[in-house]
Structures are given as structure tokens and as C-alpha cells.
Chain A
Amino acid sequence: AQTVTQSQPEMSVQEAETVTLSCTYDTSESDYYLFWYKQPPSRQMILVIRQEAYKQQNATENRFSVNFQKAAKSFSLKISDSQLGDAAMYFCAYRSVYGGATNKLIFGTGTLLAVQP
């Protein structure tokens, strides 16, 4: 069975600085998808960025980018030029392509990011 591990329960960053959130996963599969979700305080969880395992190029969405290391089974999220609105709980998630069309996700335990003004 696949597992997702986020080893940093809490992180803090100064406004305008860069922070990296770690995520590792365990799988025997060669093809899969990885996601980062953001859950602001008392607000809806939203997708930040996604990565297909067959793509070597790291995904980027504006100030958010990933460092995908397939051999190491690592999928870290880098937030550049941090803003106060980036303060949230961040979840890493894994999806197997072999699980059928039901799109089940396996989530990590989350990293709570604080942004200091």
C-alpha cells in the first residue's frame, strides 16, 4: 500500500522569503500523480499544483514550484516570495493510476505554514 509522509508538522517563513515543504512517499508503482493542496484557516481546500510521475520536468504555478525526485520518492513544494495569504495547512497527496477511474487520493498528515510579516 502507498503511504505519504510529511515530516514537518509546522513551518514558518518571513514575508517575501522562500520556503520549502517536504513530502516523501512510498510506492512500488512506476506511474502515478502527485498533488499539493492548500487549506487556509476556516476556508476551502484548494489545489496548488500537480505533477505526473512520467514527466521529468518539475511543475510550476506562478510562485509555487515542486522539486520532484522520482528515484528518491520525494515531492517538495517551494513557495517563493511568500505572502501573508500563503499561511495555511498544506497537504501532499498521491494518486495511483492503477486504482481505476475512481480517483482516490492518499494524503499526508499536513504541514502548517505560518507567514511572519
Chain B
Amino acid sequence: DVKVTQSSRYLVKRTGEKVFLECVQDMDHENMFWYRQDPGLGLRLIYFSYDVKMKEKGDIPEGYSVSREKKERFSLILESASTNQTSMYLCASSRSGFGNQPQHFGDGTRLSIL
């Protein structure tokens, strides 16, 4: 089974802090994704990566950056955390290709910015 591991289930940080959310997958997937999940808004894509050191902005990249130095690891960075970034963050990975490959998700990190 594919395993996507997010480093923290719950995280509390202060406004202005630099926050790192880590995600590791064990299936050698080319694609990795960071989503934000908010009630009534569903999942919104922040950033995704299709290869090491390659990244593209999703729908809501403002205030975030990402890093993918190794294929199995994809990090989401909040440069200067703000209270409106309090949310559930989900990481996902998938195989590359043009078929119907599903995305595989981590357990999520519930981040609170005080």
C-alpha cells in the first residue's frame, strides 16, 4: 500500500513564524501535492510538484512556498504565518501519466495560527 506521511497531525504556531509542513511518500511517485481544506470550500490546491526541484503554483499559492529536494519529500512553507492560514493541510502523491491514477493522501495536519 502507498503510504503518505505528514510529519504532524496537529500544530500550533504564532503569527509571523516561519512554518514547515513535511510530507513523505514511499511509492516513488513523481507527483506530489499540497492542499488546503476549509469547511464549505472543499480542497484547494496550493502547490504541486511533478519532479524533483520542479514545482507549479496551484489555485491559492499566496503566502506559501514549497521545496522538493528529494523525490519522496515535499515540504510546504508558510513564510510568515498569519491567522487566515489556520486550516487543515493535506498532502497527496500520485504516479505520473495520462491515465486515471488516483491521488493518495496523508492524514492531514491541522494547523492553528495564534
Contacts and interface: CB of A to CB of B under 8 A. Distances in A.
Nearest to B99: A33
Contact of B105 (A44, A52, A110): A44
B44 to A, nearest CB: 8
Contact of A50 (B58, B100, B107): B100
A107 B114 CA distance: 29
Contact of B96 (A6, A91, A101): A101
Contact of A45 (B40, B44, B90, B95): B90
A84 interface: no
A52 B107 contact: no
B106 A44 contact: yes
Interface of B: 30-31, 33, 35, 40-45, 48, 50, 56, 58, 90, 94-98, 100-103, 105-108
Interface of A: 6, 9, 33, 35, 37, 43-47, 50, 52, 91, 95, 97, 101-105, 107-110
Given A47-B103, A103-B96, A109-B42, 19 more contacts: A43-B107, A44-B105, A44-B106, A50-B102, A52-B100, A91-B42, A91-B43, A101-B30, A101-B96, A102-B48, A102-B56, A103-B95, A104-B33, A104-B45, A105-B43, A107-B35, A107-B42, A108-B42, A110-B42
14 contacts: A9-B40, A35-B102, A46-B105, A47-B102, A91-B43, A95-B100, A101-B30, A101-B97, A102-B56, A102-B96, A103-B94, A103-B97, A104-B45, A105-B103
